[in-house]
Amino acid sequence: MSSTFPLPPSQIRYNRFLLLVAGLGGLLYGVDVGIIAGALPYLQDTSGLDAGQLSFIVAAVLLGSVISTLFAGLLADLMGRKWLMMISGALFVISIPVIALAHGYHPLVWGRLLQGISAGLIGVVVPLYLAECLDASSRGKGTGIFQWLLTLGIMAAALIGLYFSHRVEEVAKLGDAAKLLVFKDHAWRGIFWVSLPPGVLFVVGSFMVAESPRWLFRRGNAEAARTALLRSRSEEQADVELKEMEATAVAENAKSGTGGQARRESLWHRKYIIPFVLACVILACNQATGINSIIGYNPTILLQGGLSDFWAHGGYVILTIVNFVVTMGGVALVDRKGRKFLLSLGTAGIIASLLCVGIMFRSVESHHVDCRDAAQAMVTPDQKLTLSYNVESADRLLPVGSPAKTPTTLVIIYSYGDFRKATAAVRSDDPGAKPIEIRRGDCVPDTKVAAFFANPFASLDAAESAPLHIDNALITPVPSTANGWLVAGCLFVFMAFYAVGPGVCVWLALSELMPTRIRSNGMSIALLLNQAVSTTIAAVFLPTVGKYGYSTMFFLFAGCTVFYFITAAFFLPETKGKTLEEIEAHFEHS
């Protein structure tokens, strides 16, 4: 392990500045993910776009992120980490006026694609840059701050949406429909404008930091690498790390041939394969905990668990706050307790909380009734369905002789061809609930690109003329409020353990485990796998819930997390306090 040396004030200030810039990158990533949720209702009311167009505007970020993630590693190697950070920030900055000043469908799509491309680049290059620039003693904290401010970005986006929602309600009280429409148009544009300043600061900050010393060294510029190291290290520490880089390079050249000019050693060498596979497993398992689905469907899950509509939606805000606050604890602990300990602790807690939620849902779902035949009979000739759900309609839907239990919830899983969707859960005792409305445009994408990301194996042409099929119409007794709070509490515990373990450590595993030669491209491939698992879970979540219930999904997530725990506890080496070269040497000699 490399020695540590006291740093003069200038290096301390620069290291703090590095953490600030990295944090701004995480903030932008979180805003990219979360900003559309608050803006979408007002965009829907004022833009004149149909449901298919709106769904593609939402999904455009995923499309842009997948594209840029695929090439982020290659670009980081070609132009350097610093320049790619500046470009990713600039793309975000450009996307804001493109979206906020848009009048029509295509500018909105292009703006959201730019945001997605920015997010994909940031997700690769910022953790990569931090791993290569920070010293071993602060690398965990630096990458943790990226995740911490990512959660702040998601929470900030939710709070910005909440603020504008309150303003819209105030205008609605005036009873002036024209004024309300104008303000809703202002609201969704304002939500995007508010996110512009962090993007500008990130671009300026990226311009002011040094290039990655390890990228410079691999480009043959050892003197520039030493200069970059001296921005954040003492001379003694810079010399130690530079010698480690030279030793690693000499070892690679010795294995590749005489004089260092022959072919490089095979990428199938164990010091490349083992860390690459470990990183891919951790990234895939991170999504297999169900984190995205639990966040995305949180209000519906809590509503089904027994909470009222108000508290079910309030639960999402509490969940984001738990995520943000506990991530701070993870950042403080990651360089003290280590990555292996936090991942093992976090995944163990996730397993326990998921099992508890699954057991609670199993006790409720054993009493649900599937009324799909009755709901199918209510489909109109134009293949639509409108249903106001209350105690009387529940009586009509339930089989003869089966008295309606009150209150109950109704969730309809439906499909047009191979595209499947679910309605939000509606309670029979909610007099203010909107009728369930099922339309083709809400389920079937309007473009082949959007269709591919919704279901790559589906036929869009067939779905555009397919009849509406009710797969499930589940009427479930609403559990007690106490049960709802137990479910909410377990989900908050899940979020806390995720934040302190996988939430903080996943970016470290991604950047630290990869050897220098494959780090950039390996990170791109691992993140792409992460997104593929996320997309797959999103595709199977609703059909599985509709057929087998929420309990099945929670048990499945718990099972996947067991595999995650085994990987973290028994196969993952501890990387706390080690230089990247020491970590690479560990895999070569293990």
| pLDDT tens per residue, range 442-495 | 888 877 777 876 777 889 999 999 999 999 888 888 888 889 899 999 999 999
| pLDDT tens per residue, range 299-316 | 778 877 888 766 776 787
What pLDDT score does 355 carry? 97
Backbone phi and psi for residue 137, each to the nearest 5 degrees, phi listed first? -75, -20
Residue 386: how many CB atoms within 10 A of its CB? Answer: 12
Give the residue with greater pLDDT, 298 vs 322: 322
Rounded mean pLDDT, 368-392: 91
Q: Using pLDDT thresholds of 50, 70 and 90, give the confidence band for residue 375.
A: very high
Q: Does residue 402 register a pLDDT over 70?
A: no
Q: Using pLDDT thresholds of 50, 70 and 90, give the confidence band for residue 266.
A: low
Average pLDDT score over the chain:
83
What pLDDT score does 559 carry? 96
Span between the terminal Cα atoms of the chain, in Å: 16
What pLDDT score does 267 carry? 55
Q: Using pLDDT thresholds of 50, 70 and 90, give the confidence band for residue 562.
A: very high
Q: What is the DSSP string of 512-561?
A: HSS-TTTHHHHHHHHHHHHHHHHHHHHHHHHHHHHHH-HHHHHHHHHHHH
Q: Does residue 397 register a pLDDT over 70?
A: yes
Q: Using pLDDT thresholds of 50, 70 and 90, give the confidence band for residue 207.
A: very high
Structure token digits, residue 123 = 């997700």
Q: 426 in helix, strand or coil?
A: strand
Q: Are 479 and 368 in contact (CB under 8 A)?
A: no
Q: Give the integer Cα–Cα distance in Å for 25 and 357.
A: 34
Q: Which of 158, 187, 166, 195 is nearest to 43 (CA)?
A: 187
Q: Which of 187, 234, 169 is nearest to 5 (CA)?
A: 234
Q: Does residue 257 register a pLDDT over 60?
A: no
| pLDDT tens per residue, range 134-154 | 877 777 777 778 878 888 887
Q: Give the integer Cα–Cα distance in Å for 120 and 29.
A: 8
Give the residue with greater pLDDT, 565 vs 76: 565
Q: Does residue 403 register a pLDDT over 60?
A: no
What pLDDT score does 255 carry? 61
What pLDDT score does 376 carry? 94
Q: Using pLDDT thresholds of 50, 70 and 90, give the confidence band for residue 401.
A: low
Residue 386's beta-bridge partner residues? 437
Q: Does residue 2 register a pLDDT over 60?
A: no
Q: Does residue 3 register a pLDDT over 60?
A: no
Residue with tokens 């290039």: 211
Q: Which of 267, 346, 255 is nearest to 572 (CA)?
A: 346
Residue 409's beta-bridge partner residues? 427, 476
What pLDDT score does 252 carry? 67
Distance set, CA 522 to CA 124, 134, 144, 150, 514 (Å)? 10, 20, 20, 22, 7
CATH superfamily of 7-233: MFS general substrate transporter like domains (1.20.1250.20)
What pLDDT score does 556 carry? 95
Q: Give the integer Cα–Cα distance in Å for 162 and 157.
A: 9
Exposed (0-12), middle (13-18) or buried (19+): which is 81, by Cβ within 10 Å? buried
> For 176-180, 192-196, 389-393, 403-407, which range has the lowest pLDDT when averaged over its residues?
403-407
Q: Greatest CA span in the chain, whole angstroms?
A: 87
Q: Does residue 69 register a pLDDT over 70?
A: yes
Rounded mean pLDDT, 530-558: 82
Backbone phi and psi for residue 101, each to the nearest 5 degrees, phi listed first? -100, 5
Rounded mean pLDDT, 24-49: 78
What pLDDT score does 260 carry? 44
Residue 224's beta-bridge partner residues? none
> For 190-194, 350-354, 567-571, 586-590, which range has the lowest pLDDT when averaged over its residues?
586-590
Considering the chain, what percentage of its residues have pLDDT values greater than 90?
Answer: 23
Q: Does residue 171 register a pLDDT over 90?
A: no
All residues at 6 or more sequence positions from 572 whose CB lies less than 8 Å from its CB, including other chains: 278, 282, 339, 340, 343, 509
Q: What is the DSSP string of 202-224?
A: HHHHHHHSPPPHHHHHHTT-HHH
Q: Give the integer Cα–Cα distance in Å for 111 and 484.
A: 39
Q: Give the integer Cα–Cα distance in Å for 213 and 216.
A: 5
| C-alpha dihedral, 20 to 23 to 25 to 30, nearest 10° | -150
Q: Are 502 and 286 in contact (CB under 8 A)?
A: yes
All residues at 6 or more sequence positions from 323 whose CB lies less than 8 Å from its CB, including other chains: 151, 154, 155, 495, 498, 499, 503
Q: Does residue 580 register a pLDDT over 70?
A: yes
Q: Where are the domains of the chain?
A: 7-233, 369-404+408-477
Q: Give the integer Cα–Cα distance in Å for 369 and 547.
A: 11
